[in-house]
Amino acid sequence: MAKQFDIAIIGGGPGGYVAAIHATHLGAKVAIVEKERLGGVCLNKGCIPTKAIVRSIEILLQIKEAGRYGILVGEPRIEFVKLMAQKEEVVENLVSGVEALVEANGIEVIYGKGEIIKPGFVRIRGANREQEIYSKKIIIATGSVPTKPPIPGLELEGVLTSDDALKIDELPSSLVIVGGGVIGIEFASIFSALGTKVTVLEMLPDILPPVDRELSRRLLWLLRRNGVDIRINSLVKRIEPKEKGLSVKFESKRGEGEIDAEKVLVAAGRIPYTEGLNLEDIGIRVESGAVSVDERMETSVPGIYAIGDVTGGVMLAHVASHQGRVAVENALGYERRMDYRAVPNCVFSFPEIASVGLTEQEAKGLGVSYKVSRFPLSASGRALTLGETIGLVKMICEEETGKALGLHIMGPYASELIAEGALAIRLGAPAREISETIHAHPTLSEAIMEAAMGQLEGAIHLLIAKS
C-alpha cells in the first residue's frame, strides 16, 4: 500500500523545504521528493556559493585598502583552491542545517525523480528502487536550469554555465561572459576582482534590465572604470575553438567583432525545469515553458500547486519561499494570496545594488504621477567611515500622497538596507512616516531617512546650492 501524506512536495529547494516546514507547523504530514540534495540551486549552486566567494573578495579588497587606514600589510595572494574550498564548506554547513531542520520537523525525504501519475499520486524513481505515494495535495517546486541560447559552439570544452563556474579548480586568465543580467554581472564582478580579464557581451542597450536605469548605468561606468570590458548592444553569433582557448564572434552596431578568451561563461538566465513531471498528460497548463498558477499558487488542476522558478516570473529564492508558504496555507484550507508589490531584488556586485517596488521607468510607463528624491552616500557619515561613498539611495513616491512606490540603493550593505523599503511599500507608508522614524546614528540606514526627507522639506545633510 502506498504511503499517505497530506502534502507531497516535488523539489527540496528554498521553495520546497520552506513549504514543507511551514506545513508541519500547521499540523500536516509531509513528504519531500528530491532528486539531488536539499537546498536546491540556491544553496548548492547559486546564491550561497556565489556569496561565499563574494565574501572572500570583500576581504581581499579590504586588505588592498588597509594602508588608507594606517594598517600596513603585504600584497595579498589568492589561493584559488582554498577560496573554493571555503565556499564548499559554507555550502555543506548550510545544506546540513537544512537537512537537520527537515528531519527535526518529521518530514519524510524520498530521494529520486518525481512524476505525477494523476492527482494525488506521485511516482518516485530512485537510484535503486521505484515507489508510489499518495498525497491529498501536491506542490511542484522543481526550480530551474541555466538557459542554453541557440549559439553554435556551446558544447565546446571551456564553455561554462553558471553551475560549472562554481566548480572550476583553476582561475582563468581571461573570460567572456555572455549576458549582462544579474548572474553575468555578479560573475563579472567576482572574476575581475580575482584578476581575470573579463569581457561582458550584452545584447540589450543596458545591463541589469530589472534594475532602475539610473543605478544600472552608474554600475556600468564603475565596472568599466575597474577594468571590466562591457559591450552593450552586442549579440553573440557563435563560439569557435582556437589553439589556446576560445573565440567569441559577435555583432554590434559597429559591425562584427571577435574576442578571444580562455573560458566562456554563458549567463543568459534560467528557464523552468519541468522534465519528467507528466504535466501535459494530467492537464496542468504550461505557458512558455512555465507552470501556470493563480494568485493562490494553484495550477489548472485542483489540489496541485506550483511555486518558485518552475512558475516563471520572479525567479528569486525568497519569492519561492514566500510562495511556498502561500501554497501550503491554501492547500490546508486557509485563504492566502500572493502579493508581488514589495519583492526586493539584489545584485551582489561591488558595490551592491538592491531594489524594491517600481523603477522610475516603470512608474513613467504606468503613467503614475511621482516624485524622485536622492541622497548620495558621499553625504553619509557612516559611509565615510567605511570608505565606501560611491552610491546613493533613490526613492520614488506617489506625488499626491507621498506613498512609497520604489526604493533603489547602490552602496555597501544595500541588500540588508532594502528591507526597510520593502516594509514601507507593503504597508503603504508615505515618505513622512519614514522620515519621522528615528534612525540610529551613525548608520547607513540614515540615508533612507534623508531620501524620505527629500520628498518633503528637504534632506538635512545634503548641501543644495541656492540660485
Task: Provide the annotated active-site residues.
Answer: 441
Nearest to 277 by CA among 135, 430, 143: 143
Distance CA 286, CA 192 (A): 39
Give strand ranges (E) for 129-269.
130-140, 144-146, 159-160, 174-178, 197-201, 229-231, 235-241, 246-252, 255-261, 263-266
Query: Percent helix, strand and coil across the chain, each rounded to 5?
Result: 35, 25, 40
Helix (H, G, I), strand (E, B) or coil at 465: coil
Cis peptide, bond prior to residue 442, ω within 30 of zero: yes
Distance CA 423, CA 440 (A): 18
Distance CA 123, CA 102 (A): 21
Distance CA 299, CA 323 (A): 13
Distance CA 87, CA 166 (A): 9
With vertex at residue 323, the alpha carbon angle to CA 92 and CA 210, rounded to the nearest 5 degrees, is: 85
The residue type found at 94 is L
Q: What phi-psi label fits residue 218: left (phi over 0), alpha (psi between -120 and 50 degrees) or beta?
A: alpha
Helix (H, G, I), strand (E, B) or coil at 424: helix
Structural contact between residues 329 and 26, judged by C-beta atoms closer than 8 angstroms: yes
Residue carrying C-alpha cell 561606468? 221
